[in-house]
Amino acid sequence: MGPGNEGLRSASNRPVATRVDGTAKTVLLGLIDDAVAAGWTRSRVCLVLGV
């Protein structure tokens, strides 16, 4: 896991719903972008988040 991964680890406690509203989608995409900027691979972030 990359640097600053504490938030992602705690976010992975529950699976993401198959369908989410626009606000949730925007937040998830922002979280993915932030994690990639912090050194995570996009595939690793998506695996951890369950998306």
Whole-structure pTM value? 0.62
pLDDT digits (tens, 9 = 90+) for 29-41: 999 999 999 999 9
Q: Which amino acid is at 14?
A: R
Q: Do the Cβ atoms of 3 and 39 come closer than 8 Å?
A: yes
pLDDT band for position 23 (cuts 50, 70, 90): very high
Average pLDDT, integer, range 47-51: 88
Average pLDDT, integer, range 19-48: 93
Q: Pick the residue with more confidence: 34 or 13?
A: 34
Q: Please provide the average confidence, as pLDDT, over all residues in the chain.
A: 80
Burial (CB < 10 A; 0-12, 13-18, 19+), residue 45, is buried
